[in-house]
Amino acid sequence: MRRFIRHSTDIPIDVTIEGPSPEQKPLLNNISVAGLSFHATIEYKQNSFVKITIPTVSDEFETPGRVVWCRPNDNGFDVGVELLNREDMYMARMVEQICHIEHYKKAVLKQEGREMSGELAALEWVEKYAAEFPTAET
């Protein structure tokens, strides 16, 4: 049974496999406190180590991970990664919130035609949705 809620997203991430390999920019499928999954065009070996960065969300978020599963799909592979640093798990919570804010910003633009800064989007999102955001324990 899953211990942490996963939050869907489609934010681009950087994934680097330890050792010689091509770097790619897959899309993040979802993220939780303990890990994340993404869509890849190449297969990742189970138990291989990767470095994850999410540059569109936070330049500071860079964490090592371990591939726990890789499943083929119609367009490549879905890959599950466990975050290895406990401290980074809390940073992942902040990244989750930022992903939600980015989605809110895009939805407002699409539905209302209103462009807004990241700061304004964050203020509005916090006012409307922060109370509903699950705690790290749920």
CATH no. for residue 117? 2.40.10.220
CA dihedral 9, 15, 21, 22 (to 10 degrees): 60
Q: Is the pLDDT of residue 116 over 80?
A: yes
pLDDT of 88 reads: 64
Question: Quick check: is 121 in a domain?
Answer: yes
CA angle 123, 129, 132 (to 5 degrees): 145
Structural domain boundaries enclosing 26: 1-131
pLDDT in tens, 36-71: 888 888 899 999 999 888 776 656 667 889 999 999
Q: How many domains does the chain have?
A: 1
pLDDT of 80 reads: 94
In a 3-state reduction of DSSP, which class is residue 109?
Answer: helix
Query: Which residue reads 């749920």 in tokens?
Result: 138
Q: What is the mean pLDDT of the chain?
A: 77
pLDDT in tens, 72-115: 998 899 999 998 886 766 666 777 777 788 888 889 999 999 99
Question: Quick check: is 138 in a domain?
Answer: no
